[in-house]
Amino acid sequence: MPNEQYDEVTYSAKFWQYKNSEQLIPENEEAELANTQILKDIKNFETSMDQVKMLPFRKAIVSMKRQEKCRFTISKDFSAEWDDCGIKDFFADCSEYDPSKDFEMEIELHKLIKVEDWYGEKSTIMRTLRKGKGR
């Protein structure tokens, strides 16, 4: 397939659920941490977007700009409705994950590089490091 495109990304991400089923407005940061169960904490991970299999995480990264930091809430209803969106596989090694609760993710996108495979066989690849401007 000629002109295949994918992106290379470097990001940090934290995934958690609240211990209480309802998210309470915390009095302070310490109170919020006491009610939080950290599921995964990933620092400076480098991958290509075609390797990101969890749909909500993929959509979040695609919507972000370099150096942006965002927090997303994924409801239990979404997880139940979109059974094949990769959430179960992503948290398969995490015994603390409870599919009956919402989960949150905070993502910081460090680097995003557009990669274009001109002939679809990885023989000629172009990486856009920085966009240029017209004359």
In this model, does residue 26 exceed pLDDT 60? no
Residue ranges covered by each domain of the chain:
11-110
Per-residue pLDDT, 116: 78
Per-residue pLDDT, 80: 81
**How confident is the model over 42-62, as a mean pLDDT?**
90
What band does 93 get if pLDDT is binned at 50, 70 and 90? very high
Which region holds residue 3: left if phi is over 0, alpha if psi is between -120 and 50, else beta?
left
Distance between CA atoms of residues 88 and 49, nearest Å? 19
Cβ neighbourhood burial of 74 (10 Å; 0-12, 13-18, 19+): buried
Count the neighbouring beta carbons within 10 Å of the beta carbon of residue 117.
17
pTM of this prediction?
A: 0.75
Q: How far is CA 135 from the centre of its chain?
A: 37
User: pLDDT tens for residues 3-23?
Assistant: 556 688 999 999 999 887 555
Per-residue pLDDT, 3: 55
Q: Tokens for 67?
A: 């150096």
